[in-house]
A and B are shown apart, each in its own frame.
Chain A
Amino acid sequence: MPAIAEAGALRRREFLRGMAASAATAALAGCGRSPVGAVPYVERPEEVVPGRPLFYATAIPFAGFAQPVLAETHMGRPTKLEGNPDHPVGGGATDAFTQAAVAALYGPERSRRPLRGGVAAAWADFAALAPELAGPGLRVLTGAVGSPTLVRQLTALVEEAGARWHVHEPGLPPPQAGRPSLHPRLDAAGAVVCLDADPLGPGPAQVAHVRAWSAAPRRPLFVAEPTLSPTGAVARRRLAAPAGRVPVLARALAAELGLGQAPPLADDEAAWVAEAVAALAAQPGESLLLAGPTQPGAIRDLALAVNARLGNLGRTLLATEPVLAMPPGGDEFSLAALVEDMRGGRVRALLVLEANPAYTQPAGLDFAAAARRVPWRIHAGLCRDETAALCHWHLPLHHPLEDWSDARAVDGTAGIIQPVTRPLHESVSAHAVLAALLGEPGADPREVVRDTWRRRWDEDDFEARWRRALHDGFVADTGAAPLTLAPPPLPPPEPDEVGGLEAVFRPDPCVWDGRFAAVPWLQELPKPLTTLTWTNVVALGAGLAGRLGVATGDTVEVSAAGAAVAAPAWIMPGQAEASVTLFLGYGRRNGAGVGRGRGYDAYPLRPGPQGWRVAGVRLRRLDGAAAPLPVIQPHQTLAGLDDIVRTVAPGAAVPPPAAAASLYPEWEYPGPAWGMVIDLDRCTGCNACVVACQMENAVPTVGPSEVAKGRALHWLRVDLYYQERPEGLRTYFQPVPCMHCEKAPCEFGCPVNATVHGPEGLNQMVYNRCIGTRTCSSYCPYKVRRFNFRDYAGAMPAAYAPLRNPDVTVRAQGVMEKCTYCTQRIAAARIEARKDNRPIRDGEVRTACQQACPARAIVFGDLADPGSAVARARDDRRHYGLLAHLGTRPRTTYLARTEAR
Chain B
Amino acid sequence: MVSFAPGRDHLAPMRAGLVTAAKAVTAALAVVAVALAAAWSAGGIPRPPPVQPVPFSHAHHAGALGLDCRFCHSDAERGPRAGLPATEVCMSCHYPVEVRPEVPALRWVRTARLPDFTYFDHSVHVAAAVDCAACHGAVAEMAQPVPPRPFTMLWCLDCHRQRAVERARLEHCYACHR
Contact = CB atoms under 8 A, between A and B. Distances in A.
Interface of A: 2, 16-17, 19-21, 23-24, 28, 31-44, 49-52, 670-671, 756, 758-760, 762, 764, 766-769, 807-810, 820, 823-824, 827, 831, 834-835
Given A50-B81, A51-B121, A831-B123, 13 more contacts: A17-B38, A36-B113, A37-B108, A38-B84, A40-B83, A40-B87, A52-B79, A756-B172, A766-B173, A768-B115, A809-B178, A827-B121, A834-B124
A759 B163 CA distance: 15
Contacts of B114: 32, 34
A835 B124 CA distance: 6
Given A24-B39, A39-B107, A809 B116 contact: yes
A50 B83 contact: yes
Interface residues of B, number: 49
Contacts of B93: none
Given A38-B84, A38-B110, A44-B88, A767 B119 contact: no
Given A51-B80, A769-B173, A823 B178 contact: yes
B177 A809 contact: yes
B162 to A, nearest CB: 17
B124 A17 contact: no
A766 B105 contact: no
B67 interface: no
13 contacts: A16-B34, A37-B108, A42-B88, A49-B79, A52-B80, A670-B168, A764-B172, A820-B174, A823-B178, A824-B119, A831-B123, A834-B128, A835-B123
Contacts of B119: 807, 824, 827
Interface string B84-103: 11111100000000000001
Given A28-B115, A764-B174, A807-B178, A21 B81 contact: no
B109 A36 contact: yes
A808 B177 CA distance: 9
A758 B174 contact: yes
B6 interface: no
A645 B68 CA distance: 60
B148 interface: no
B45 A37 contact: no
Contact of B87 (A41, A756, A768, A834): A41
B88 to A, nearest CB: 5
A275 to B, nearest CB: 51
Contacts of A824: 119, 178
Contacts of A32: 113-118
Contact of B110 (A19, A35, A44): A35
B27 interface: no
A37 to B, nearest CB: 5
Given A19-B38, A758-B174, A834 B108 contact: no
A809 B84 contact: no
A50 B38 contact: no
Given A32-B116, A40-B83, A40-B108, A21 B172 contact: no
Contacts of B116: 32-34, 809-810
Contacts of B127: 834-835
A636 to B, nearest CB: 34
A42 B108 contact: no
B169 interface: yes
Interface in B97-156: 103-110, 113-119, 121, 123-124, 127-128, 150
**Which of B43, B87, B103, B177 has its CB near the most chain A CB atoms (within 10 A)?**
B177
